[in-house]
Amino acid sequence: MNLKLFFLLIVLSPTLIFAQFGGTHSFQFFDIQVSPKVESLGGSGISLPMNNDVSLSRLVPSLLNENMNNNFVFAYSDYFSDINILSFSFAKKINKLGLTSVNIQAINYGFFDYTDEYGNVLGKFSASDQLFTFSLAKKISSVFTLGMNLNLLNSKYSNYSSIVISSNLSSTYYNNSNNLCFTILVENIGRQLKKYNRSENLPTQIEIALSKKLKYLPFTYHISYNNLQKFDISSPYKLNNTFNYNTTNSQSQNESFPKTFLRHLIIGGELRPFNKNLFLRSGFNFQRRFDMSLSSYPGFIGFSFGVGVEIVGFMFDYSRSSYHIAGTTNNFSITTNINNFAL
């Protein structure tokens, strides 16, 4: 693809797409993160420069770099209830093409009771999603990398199935001299090839992120701002109402500007004590906090934590994210290079 045309697509995409938000659209599987590094930073890791985690390229192809060449990652997510997610990623540098990666991600939602309108159980049905992604990145200068990928999603719920093709476009700026990284990402531009029983919209959105490693401290902070295409992304299912006891009526209240602005933000940080093979991570997701916490007991909703340890050529990562008082997610991954197994 002509690089000028590619960059033009990234710039103009905000005028071509529309977004939907949590619980209001299909294909939420695109939004689920399996990488412990991403989840431990609040659910957004689109500005993690010079990383060896190939699974990051599934969402942000421009993060592909030389450190990922011949790396493969196996990731597992213990999602809510009995839902399990598996992911496998591999990266390879092809001289005339650039840095490439392949990712396969599958989710099994388990079995559900199939009933009639009276609640009589007639049997059981299963539900699952499978996602195949091919990513390509090209370095156009010493600090700029462009990336794009192709996603093919197969979704099946009982007798209903759908096939979707989509693409992510991204551009990453990384300056090694000051350890500054900036990324812009346009997610899920595509369409259905096969419908469930009607046309469904994809969860398309625009996101930017910044990361910076401090000069005199082994700490890197991450700031992400998502859904640039729409300012009000408050959930339509969590009404901000007050009750008037004099009129016995519920009165709707407009959300404040600061709160609406904060909904877009995800912040996180990674500490590498003594610059050794130990990584401590934490993040906070404002949108998750506002929509999923209980006013009587907010707890740690919106917070996430993680740790990474590198041992003899293997990188082990773990994260725990609090989505709701009723449930948390646990993600695991193992990263290594195939050259470690060379005879």
Helix (H, G, I), strand (E, B) or coil at 306: strand
Count how many domains the chain has.
1
Q: What angle do CA 118, 122, 125 make, to 5 degrees?
A: 115
Q: Which domain holds residue 17?
A: 3-341
Buried b (16+ CB within 10 A) or exposed e, 57-93: bbbbbbbbbeebbebbbebbbebeeeeebebebbbbe
> What's the CA gap between 286 and 229, in Å, rounded?
18
How many other C-beta atoms are found inside a 10 Å radius of the C-beta of residue 289? 18
Q: Tens of pLDDT along 21-58? A: 455 566 777 778 889 999 999 988 888 887 889 999 99
Q: Tens of pLDDT along 312-322? A: 889 999 999 99
230 backbone dihedrals φ, ψ, rounded to 5°: -150, 135
Mean pLDDT of 215-242: 78
Residue 337: give its domain's CATH number.
2.40.160.40
11: left (phi over 0), alpha (psi -120 to 50) or beta: alpha
Mean pLDDT of 287-315: 88
Check residue 179 and report its DSSP letter. T
Half-sphere exposure at residue 248, Cβ-oriented, CA atoms within 13 angstroms: 0
pLDDT confidence of residue 207: 95
Cα–chain center distance at 267: 14
Could you identify the residue written with the tokens 């431990």?
40
